[in-house]
Every structure is written in C-alpha cells, then in structure tokens.
Structure 1
C-alpha cells in the first residue's frame, strides 16, 4: 500500500474490494462448508470450510497490509492465535519467555499447557525482556504491556533475538498497527486480539497472526487447519466492515487517552497514572521512538476497590467491562482477575466520546 496515505485512508483501502464493474463495493460474506470440486483433482483454492474461505482471505489481506506483513492468518480469538503460534514454534527442551506483567491468560497457558510438555517457561517484566531473551528459543513480548502500560524496547529485543537465533513474537493488541508495527522493528511474527481496537465495537471475538516469513506463516496456517481454531465467515465479514473506520476510531481513542491521562495526573484522587504518551511516564522515551500513537489505554491507581466501583457508579459515560478498544469508555479493576496490581488499580479504555464530555464526566465521578 502507498506509504503516503494516512491511517484512515489505509483503513478504508484495506477493507475495500477491488474495483470491478458490476461487483458490490462491499461484497457479502461467503458462508460455506463445502465447495464444488473440479474434475481435475488438483486441489482448488477452496474445497472445505475449515481450510479456507474467500471472506477470510479478504480480511487477512487487509490485516497484512495494516501490519506491513506479506500475509496474515485469522483465528477465532486472540488466544487461539497466540496458542497456535506457540505450538508451531516450540518443542520439548526449548525455553520460552513470556511477559510477567502482561495478559494473564498467556502466562496461564504457558505454565498449564506448555511447561508439562518439557518446555521451560521464563516470566520477565518489560524492562527485563532483553536479559531473559539472551538464552531463549522463543520470546513472546507484549508492548505496551496490558495492563501496566510499560513499553518494551522492541528494536533492542529483536537484536538480542537475532543474535541468539531465536524467534520473536510481539503481541500488538494494545497498540494496534496504527500505533506501532513490530515487524518493522525486527519482530518475526505479530499476534493480536482483533476483538479489541480493530473490530472496535465490543461485539466480535477474533485474533490473527501476521508475518513475512513464509516458513513460519505456513506452519501457523497448517496448525489452524488441523486444530480447527477458525474464524466464522460472518464474523470475518463484520471485522472487515469494522476495519473501514478503525483509523478514525483509534485516532479519537488516543486523543481521549492523552486528555484523560493529563487530567488524572493532576487529580488528587489519582495516586498514580501510567500512559506512554505522558512526558513524565517511565516508558515515554522508548515509546516515542517506536510508536506512532500511544494507544487508547490509561492506567490509574485509586485509593481502593471501592473507589474504582464508585467511579463507575457515579459516571454517566463509563461502563464496567474487561475487554478494551470499543467505542464506549470502559473501566476494569484488574486485581479482580489476579493481576499483580493494587486493589485500586484500574485500566481505562478510551471510547470515541467527545473529549470534553468524557473529561467532565470522569472529573465529576471522581468527586
């Protein structure tokens, strides 16, 4: 795709169909389990619904363009994308590094499902990733880290992995490809939950893997075929439809995040605020180098769990929800899920409300 286009233009172009006279601008989904086979028994492009689907291919092409990859592979969830990728890359006796401060389900899968197979699991926080990667076979990094919003120096980490000959996988869920493109920083594969910012309406569950190494991507696609963690064609169509507005939505979410972070930083009810876009944030220097946008998530520490619940109850705009990236601004008290944070730690996911309305509502709800 032409590099001079802005993100909203990229979104629209990636989600659109080729210009063919007489064909719909937005083609309908193709719900198919079986396809007509040719008399020539050489396998056609599509032959069975678990193996391929035209709507998948359109979505995957769009995701690959946005991530700067040569190909992408869609899955039924972000965790399906992550677990399938790890199964392809790992063998007994190997060492895997996972985020100690990132998404908790990734750690659970590693310790509960991979460690019993003879795979050594090492958990590392964001600023310890490079040291932990020095003798690893596979490194799964997450940046910004969910929920603390620390940032991993991906270029440095990629250099360590190249020197070791290990594979670097980066979870790009929080940043989205509009915030950063890990493949351009040296990652081998990108994984993400498109449930979040890319689909953006809190009504879809899907994930993807993107990359430019044919050997790795072929393995991922084969794993999807055999394990069956596929995305339904209608969900793929809805995701593709959502991508057209993703650039606009993410831009507003990032705008709201910066405004809310600045307001919270000066509010007496906030004991701590994390947002990579704040110049005072410990992650700001690295984030500025590798990120185009700082994301739509803000982390704030309030007095206790009751203060987080009161914030939601007093607000007219905030909703309590554990996912993020939707059009509604949401609040999630992360300690309830077992994250190693204080009881009053909350992750705010910015929606697309008018910035002034959102600021006024949160300030009033904080009291």
Structure 2
C-alpha cells in the first residue's frame, strides 16, 4: 500500500465519528424517505428524495475521501458513465473511446449519443496515443482495459489531450482508488462501477463520478437531479458497508492474483497469459509507474472454447459468472459477449479465498481440462 493512500484507508471507517452525537448509532442508519418534514423556507434542508438522501451522502463522503475529490453516486457504473457523457457533451462533439474496453460504453455511444449528433472513434488501449487527440471534445480511457488488460499511459494521454483541448474521462473500475489514481495523474473525470470491488459482495449495483472541476460536478449533479438517475438508499447502505472492508479485501485479492499469475506463467497449457504484475507482461513497466497495485484480474487463454468452459465449470472454487470484484473468485469466457478476444480467453477475477487452496483448485481443474 502506498504511503500516500494508507492514511486515507485508515480513516475511512471513522469518517462518521466527527458527525456523531452522544447516543447516535455507530453504524450508518438507512434513510428510506421520499418526503421530508419541510415547513417554511426549504433552503438548507432535505427536500425531496430525488434531490438528496442522507445514506447516499455518507457513501459519497467515503468515496470522496478515497478519490480526494467531490463524488456523486449513481445506480450503476453505466449510469455514472452516461452522466459524465450527457453532462458535458453537445451536438457536434466528437469523442474517442477504447476499442477494447468495456463494450457497453461503445454500445451506449452508438445507439444514443450518435442520435444526438455526437460522433465517436475507436482506438486500441495499447496504442491510444497514436494519432493524437485533435478535434475531440472528450477522450475516454480504461486502463487496464476490460477484459484484455492492456494499459495506456494516463499522464501522457492527459497531457496530449489537454493540449488538444479535450476532457479526459478515466474508467477506473478495474483498479479502484486503492490501486490506481487517475485524478492524481491529471484526468478530469473518473467514473467507476462500485458494483465490483468497492461493494465486493455481488449483491448490489452502484457507480460514481468524481472530479476536481467544480463546473463539471455541477453539470453532473444537475443531470442526475433532472434525469432522475439516482441511487437507492438501501443500495447505498450496502456499498457503505462494503467500502469499510475494501482495503483488506483489495490487498488480499491483489496479493493472491500476483501469486496465481506466477504459478499460471509456468504452465504449458495456456496459449497466452496477461497480468500487469508479471515481469514479462507487455504493460509491466507502465504498470509499475502508474499503479499502486497490479490488480486482481488475470487474463488467461486456453486452447479452445471447450477447454476454457471445462476449466471454469470444473473448478470448485470458481464461480461461473459475469462481472468481477467479489469476495468469491469468478471466471468467464468473454468471447461469449462478443469481446474481441480468443474463444478460449478466460477473465479470472481473484477473490478472498486462501491463496494455496485456490491455486490447488485451479490447478486441478486445468489439469482435468487438458485431458
């Protein structure tokens, strides 16, 4: 853990303390209300459930503490992405997206932004700097890219994009603020799906937008209030609970992923292996420079679809499921969603199981899939 982030994680579960009065509950109360007692002038008080909620605000405080920036919560990661887009874009703007990032961002742009006169181009994450950024209003990066785990140099992209007059939005879902800090590297906006590791229990959808630019956050806030893309109080309460253990879980997950990647790198039945923490990974040097940890995602490619599915289904400590970041390790063959990966590519999300037991289960299933 970086010395810079450790004080933030230490204070995270104590943020409520300064606001507590004697006899108040230590655990965050759940505020389930659409209406609030509001006689007289409404300014300065809770007014209506679409405008504010005490439970959301507690979660936003925690995320803002981690991001070191103002934060607004949303009902999913894609709601956060959409809010960032619709708050800052207008007809005639052009945006640049990663061709190998989370596919739904591209689908949103194709199906809805183009109808409103916003055009987009695609570029691979590994060569994202190639071609420059002239003419773009917004440059959207995702590093490590999901699912292939290629990286781009955040600072270099930010410098070049800003010189061309573009805003940089970074999707930091795969890393969380504990593993990578795009705002510190100059990005204008961070978006993330807190459905993943921040919540960590695979039982809620949530997302957030963070920015140190007041005008951007004011626009995102207006979009949320007027469009109604608000998080539910109970979902916010669940994420608050998850964030209190993020540091412990994230460290365990990253430590185990590093252990597993080294083991997997010695096998001869994988046709490819991607993990930024491996010395031989194409992105390793860049990962060392801009990431605090190497993450908990591993990309492993088996010979074909049949062997990949047999490995996933046969491993007793892997949950076959989409999404990632839970306390349980999970895996899926991403080609089934149309990602541009080999048929045998498996995205492995490392959870919190004991590393030795998890490796033995993975090894046993890989051995069985070879036969």
Q: Please give the TM-score of this superposition, normalised by the length of structure 2.
A: 0.95
Q: Show structure 2 runs of 5+ residues with no match.
A: none
Distance 1:14 1:350, change over 3 A: farther
The answer (yes or no) to whether the contact 1:37–1:44 under 8 Å persists in 2 is no
Distance 1:15 1:47, change over 3 A: same
User: For residue 303 of structure 2, what is the aligned residue in structure 1?
Assistant: 303
Measured in 1, the distance between the counterparts of 2:307 and 2:102 equals 24
Measured in 1, the distance between the counterparts of 2:358 and 2:9 equals 23
User: For residue 59 of structure 1, what is the aligned residue in structure 2?
Assistant: 59
Root-mean-square deviation over aligned CA pairs: 1.5
The answer (yes or no) to whether the contact 1:325–1:351 under 8 Å persists in 2 is yes
The answer (yes or no) to whether the contact 1:317–1:361 under 8 Å persists in 2 is yes
The answer (yes or no) to whether the contact 2:196–2:324 under 8 Å persists in 1 is yes
User: For residue 122 of structure 1, what is the aligned residue in structure 2?
Assistant: 121
Pairwise CA distance, 1:306: 1.0
Distance 1:349 1:14, change over 3 A: farther
Measured in 1, the distance between the counterparts of 2:160 and 2:136 equals 10
The answer (yes or no) to whether the contact 2:125–2:145 under 8 Å persists in 1 is yes
Measured in 1, the distance between the counterparts of 2:132 and 2:19 equals 45
- 1:169-188 mapped onto 2 (5 Å cutoff): 169-188=169-188
> Secondary structure of 1:20's match?
coil
User: For residue 240 of structure 1, what is the aligned residue in structure 2?
Assistant: 240
Measured in 1, the distance between the counterparts of 2:18 and 2:348 equals 35
Measured in 1, the distance between the counterparts of 2:120 and 2:162 equals 20
The answer (yes or no) to whether the contact 2:5–2:178 under 8 Å persists in 1 is no
Distance 1:262 1:7, change over 3 A: farther
1:199-238 deviation line (CA, Å, top 9, x unaligned): 0010010100011111000110110111111111111111
Distance 1:90 1:262, change over 3 A: same
Distance 1:33 1:340, change over 3 A: same
The ranges of structure 1 where at least 4 consecutive aligned residues each deviate by more than 4 angstroms after the TM superposition are 14-17
- 1:212-231 mapped onto 2 (5 Å cutoff): 212-231=212-231
Distance 1:103 1:186, change over 3 A: same
User: For residue 279 of structure 1, what is the aligned residue in structure 2?
Assistant: 279
Report the more deviating stretch, 219-228 or 4-13: 4-13
> Secondary structure of 1:93's match?
coil
> Secondary structure of 1:123's match?
strand
User: For residue 202 of structure 2, what is the aligned residue in structure 1?
Assistant: 202
1:144-192 deviation line (CA, Å, top 9, x unaligned): 1000111110000110122122111100000111101110000011000
Distance 1:58 1:148, change over 3 A: same
User: For residue 84 of structure 1, what is the aligned residue in structure 2?
Assistant: 83
Distance 1:320 1:16, change over 3 A: farther
Q: Show structure 1 runs of 5+ residues with no match.
A: none
1:318 aligns with 2:318: yes
Pairwise CA distance, 1:43: 2.4
Q: Please give the TM-score of this superposition, normalised by the length of structure 1.
A: 0.96
Report the more deviating stretch, 172-181 or 254-263: 254-263
User: For residue 294 of structure 1, what is the aligned residue in structure 2?
Assistant: 294
User: For residue 343 of structure 1, what is the aligned residue in structure 2?
Assistant: 343
Pairwise CA distance, 1:44: 3.1
Pairwise CA distance, 1:287: 0.9
User: For residue 106 of structure 1, what is the aligned residue in structure 2?
Assistant: 105
Distance 1:193 1:14, change over 3 A: farther
> Secondary structure of 2:24's match?
coil
> Secondary structure of 1:209's match?
strand
User: For residue 139 of structure 1, what is the aligned residue in structure 2?
Assistant: 139
Pairwise CA distance, 1:87: 0.7
Distance 1:271 1:211, change over 3 A: same
Report the more deviating stretch, 257-266 or 97-106: 257-266
